[in-house]
Structure 1
């Protein structure tokens, strides 16, 4: 984890120097001094090979930013930065190409990477006051490419290029007390291409794609005097990050070739989003997409495989810091209307015994837990045997599983008594219930038996378990079950004690 934190800091430095985020004032000299002060406070070094001031214009040449930690180091160089004072604002232009070199060390692997940022005709305007500066920028295109990669001294044949067109953005930075940065970015289109070759097998990999309607927003709060290398301490001091990104229709094509096989994937989607937030209390991450399709062909695949998914989502909320009181957590995954083409169904079910309706999986849970450690503090998480936290509540907000004509749904809630670890063999004593409903379950089991997937003797065991835990419902092929743990510690199914 440490090397990735260092890598993120180095990449952040390059991005900030090449785009929108830096402290500023209303004169060119103050803008330049603020860059140096800001990055010095963050543990970075920013210098210029030469400085030339003339008539309200400050020209900086060979501007270099460096960052070094035991796990990673990075260096970015901007050939020329020109700052022109214009009626209380400062207009900034930079060299169209900016090289960035980075080295990361993780256990027995050292990776050296050279990248190139491109920003032709980008113009940035700084306005505002010393305590709150606004950066507005436009760029006909912004790009990034990997020009060289070396792993443990051996060159790796790989290229990666990304480019966004007609990019606009705004960044507002407040520096009175804590530094607060709020940013907005948009671009109508981004394209990307990746290629690589395996020197041992001769195999190749290529991928080309694009996304449209990109928009992003973000806020970051950095308290005075924090050390970004110590994430746990920074969060405790009040560091906060909150960002979201969305995109419209997109697609990509992937080709994989080796000595014995070829494979092609063509994928597309209607749009999606992701968001991330982190503070001293919690970490939140989420991603979603709609209208995804994928077509797969290959020399070892007897027929084309077509897959579609109407909706997908994943989200996670978890507490990250030691606390005296329980804090919320949540997890959700959604795969809605997953469908495959008839050729795939014919291979799995040649007699067409199963309904070929799309499948769905939804699991949405929430609850409360008390963390016993700070998960970003390596000293507190070093012991793999240590218990990281206590579970206090668990709610099943939604359960839905639909496949082969059967539909399982459920919801429920439990609380947990962490002072009683005896009643349930080292697990905190639960209290609560969950209700489940299964429609079409026996019909699906009959079909799986007929297909030879489930042996008859195993099916008999399943039916016996269903009879123990479930009651027949009013509808055809309906089973209902309420599983509960009561105050007496007993486990009950539909009112009948099991334990």
Structure 2
């Protein structure tokens, strides 16, 4: 958590930067900061005064009006001083203790968030040209923070945080224009944190853990006069875009909760190196993330006072989502992928249904790779059009779908499949209201007979269930070895479904 002179500076400086050199004055810097809040749809007000080369800004008020007039959001941030250095740069100075307050007012009710931070005062310098300013920030590691919240009808919450380490180098560049461009990068060293929470008189908790070194980069383009948060699609067409990349060496944290003074739950989450990439523009929403050596352990009691012991670990995991967000008449590509490798379930869960360890407990895996083309005529991020009657909105049309890979192992079984289909959206009669598919898929299965036998011996399934499963398997596959099966499905242009050479429809 850092302290910066405007809401967008706070967000950007926490994460990113880009160097620049030239001459700016304190007045140029203040104008640049106002441009940032204006692009975020906020109004920035603060008293300022100049004494020689120093411009002092008193406590700032950054205010947003919420959509449809339902309320307002106001951030009160501490003041700062801007000192012109005589070399074309401006040093921005902060007090060692900073206090922030956020007030959310909805239909007359006010919720507040108060934050006080000590230590980790940033050393910040602004340079560049008027309207094109780079902020260079060094943040020493270590800080303390006190957080409190109050909301009507809710128990008050207090959080006290201590951070050790986490020294950071940050640079971000803000360029004014019809689009406000913010771009930057940041690096931080490993750190650890400890927090104590109190939620009313009933619930108390602690959170502690470590975070490895991190790197990030960031590019954000905003319409300079702000945009309608309920119609992001219009802003995207006007140039709004976001691209965020991050890499983290590791993380490990534990959350303990007490209920009326008695231990209630304990949860630990950890991860090795992980990477993430998120981007959004007029054409697409894209997310790609991967990580290794991740896990979660949860222990405690449920609402029936029964013990809970849940644990999962994965040697590696990844996910990708790539979808069009703007409505167009032409088909657009999409993709969905995810995978888990070396997936293990903890003994607490296994013991619930297999205490005798009859089912093989080798690590499981799953790998799915889907892609295709879709015709989407609706701006998905224009939320206003989804209020009220939506029957007039055109439905998306699936044009093609490719299963490049599906592979799953676990419990002594293995399954693989691939396939590709096209869809005729003008024919919704052949398949009872669905677009008529045409294409083929192949699949291989192994170990399923052994799993059926194991489930029978455990009493998990009845004989008639096992018989039904075997009959179904025989209908869609051919045996190609001991407990190994292979099958193929084809749907032709007449709508005939052919399974292993036999017409089934």
- TM bin, normalised by shorter chain, reads 0.7 to 0.9
Deviations 1:179-208 (A, max 9, x none): 3221101111244445545548x2433322
Query: Equivalent residue for 1:431?
Result: 438
Aligned residues: 487
Change (3 A) 1:107 1:371: farther
Question: CA, structure 1 residues 83+395, in 2 after alignment: closer, same or farther (shift >3 Å)?
Answer: farther
Aligned residue number for residue 29 of structure 1: 27
Matches within 5 A, 1:345-494: 345=350, 348-382=353-387, 383=389, 385=391, 386=393, 388-473=395-480, 475-494=481-500
SS at match of 2:187: strand
User: What CA deviation, in whole Å up to 9, does each residue of 1:212-241 have, x standing for no partner?
Assistant: 111111111224445253422111111110
Deviation of 1:263 (Å) = 3.0
- Larger CA deviation: 411-420 vs 97-106: 97-106
Structure-2 residue corresponding to 1:264:
266
RMSD of aligned Cα (Å):
3.2
Whether contact under 8 Å (1:226, 1:233) holds in the other structure is no
Q: Counterpart in 1 of 2:168?
A: 167
- 2:100 — aligned with what? 100
For residue 68 of structure 1, the aligned residue among 60, 65, 69 is 65
300-309 or 253-262, which deviates more = 300-309
Shift of 1:252: 1.1
What's 1:126 paired with?
Answer: 126
Alignment partner, residue 3 of structure 2: none
Q: For 1:43, which of 41, 44, 63 is the aligned residue?
A: 41
Question: 2: distance between equivalents of 1:448 and 1:265?
Answer: 32
Long gaps (5+) in structure 1? 1-9
CA 1:83–1:327 in 2, change beyond 3 Å: closer, same or farther?
farther
Contact map agreement 1:364 1:397 (CA 8 A) in 2: yes
Change beyond 3 A, Cα 1:233–1:73 = same
CA–CA distance in structure 1, aligned partners of residues 227 and 299 of structure 2: 50
Cα offset, 1:131, TM superposition: 5.2
Evaluate the alpha carbon distance shift between residue 111 and residue 331 of structure 1 in structure 2; reply closer, same or farther with a 3 A threshold: farther
Q: Structure 1 pair 267/464, CA: closer, same or farther in 2 (3 Å)?
A: same
Residue in structure 2 matched with residue 136 of structure 1 by the alignment: 136
Query: Corresponding residue for 1:6?
Result: none
Using the alignment, how far apart are the partners of 2:30 and 2:214 within structure 1?
A: 31
Conservation of the 8 A alpha-carbon contact between 2:78 and 2:100? no
Which of 1 and 2 has higher RCO (CA within 8 Å, sep 6+)? 2
Q: What's the TM-score, normalizing by structure 2?
A: 0.86
Whole-Å Cα distance in 2 between the matches of residues 123 and 423 of structure 1? 69
Q: Distance in 1 between matches of 2:403 and 2:95?
A: 55
Change (3 A) 1:368 1:158: farther
TM-aligned CA deviation for residue 452 of structure 1: 1.2
Q: TM-score, normalised by structure 1?
A: 0.87
Indicate the residue corresponding to 1:244 in structure 2.
245
Counterpart of 1:15 in structure 2 is 11
Shift of 1:341: 4.9
Alpha-carbon distance between aligned partners in 1 of 2:15 and 2:408, rounded to the nearest angstrom:
46
Structure 2: which 5+ residue stretches go unaligned? 1-5
Given that 1:14 and 1:76 are in contact with CA atoms closer than 8 Å, whether structure 2 keeps it comes out as: no
